Amino acid sequence: MTTMKQQLPTAVILAGGLGTRLRPLVSDRPKALAVVAGRPFILYQLEWLCRNFVQSVIICVGYKGEQIVDCLGDGSHLGMKIAYSRESTPLGTAGALAEAAHLLPAEFLVLNGDTYTAMELEPLWEAHHRRGALATLAAAPAVHVKDSAAVGSIKIGPDGRILSFREKQPGAKLVSMGIYAVSRELVPLIPQQRPCSLERDVFPNLPGLYGYLSPASFIDIGTPTGYRAANRQLSKLPT
């Protein structure tokens, strides 16, 4: 008997960054619209979310964000519902989430705008619920990453609790995939300074932070190395 997959909650895509690390290769558009294997990168993310039974998406836009709105519209042509949270000045990943607070449901997923993976989201969501966490971070072995110093380094205890989170540290064994299951109770804990970062200002000292070790690999297109790797990998997908 086939088990029916559950519809997952709203996903928030953090796509408001300046993309400075990728600027030598992509300078005329936001990073989310970087052309990868002939298509805007964010389309791969949205199609992956659809395959994982996510039908509602909030996109946090900033730098050249009108290009993303013009490209995607309300998402109806993709079979999704897309809403936007706009930041007039760069707020960082945590600041962008706080800015979108009026749109957020009680529980939601968060995805960095430069992450690509084929992982299944349902096990991450189930682990989040099982532990009653404020946030659960998808983690992967650092061997899956071209440049582990470009992403967050994680240590996970036997009970799944994250013991340490350090942004962009070399020599990591486990790294953050930039994919999180989040409870809305996290939002009031975001520092009020602007801008602020989930990775630097929230996660390192957050109680109730857990990790989910994914068997899937991922690519961060935010660096030239990752961008080239994404072009090679995604060009192999069936059209």
Look up the domain containing 212 and give its range.
11-234
Look at residue 4 in the predicted model and tell me its pLDDT. Answer: 47
Looking at the domain assignment, is residue 24 inside a domain? yes
Between β-strands 162-166 and 11-15, what pairing exists: parallel, antiparallel or unpaired? Answer: unpaired
Looking at the domain assignment, is residue 3 inside a domain? no
For the chain, the domain total comes to 1
Looking at the domain assignment, is residue 239 inside a domain? no
Look at residue 107 in the predicted model and tell me its pLDDT. Answer: 95
Q: Is the peptide bond before 195 cis (omega within 30 degrees of 0)?
A: yes
Looking at the domain assignment, is residue 6 inside a domain? no
Looking at the domain assignment, is residue 2 inside a domain? no
Q: Are 223 and 116 in contact (CB under 8 A)?
A: no
Look at residue 186 in the predicted model and tell me its pLDDT. Answer: 95
Count CA atoms closer than 13 A to 130's CA, side-chain side.
12
Looking at the domain assignment, is residue 1 inside a domain? no
Q: Where are the beta strands (DSSP E) in 49-104?
A: 56-61, 81-86
Burial of 213 (0-12, 13-18, 19+ CB in 10 A): middle
Element holding 95 (H helix, E strand): helix 92-99
39-96 tens-digit pLDDT: 999 999 999 999 999 999 999 999 888 999 999 999 999 999 999 999 988 899 999 9
Q: Can you tell me the distance from the alpha carbon of 92 to that of 74, in angstroms, rounded to the nearest whole number? A: 24
Q: Where are the beta strands (DSSP E) in 65-221?
A: 81-86, 107-112, 115-117, 135-141, 153-156, 162-166, 174-183, 209-213, 218-220
Nearest alpha-carbon partner for 117 in 217, 238, 239: 217
Looking at the domain assignment, is residue 147 inside a domain? yes
Looking at the domain assignment, is residue 56 inside a domain? yes
pTM across the whole model = 0.90
| Per-residue pLDDT in tens (0 to 9) along the chain, 239 residues | 344 467 899 999 999 876 677 666 666 788 899 899 999 999 999 999 999 999 999 999 998 889 999 999 999 999 999 999 999 888 999 999 999 999 999 999 999 999 999 999 999 999 999 999 999 999 998 765 554 455 568 888 899 999 887 765 566 688 899 999 999 999 999 987 778 999 889 998 888 899 999 989 898 888 888 888 888 888 887 76
Tokens of 1: 């008997």
Q: Can you tell me the distance from the alpha carbon of 20 to that of 5, in angstroms, rounded to the nearest whole number? A: 38
Query: The domain that contains 228 carries what CATH number?
Result: 3.90.550.10
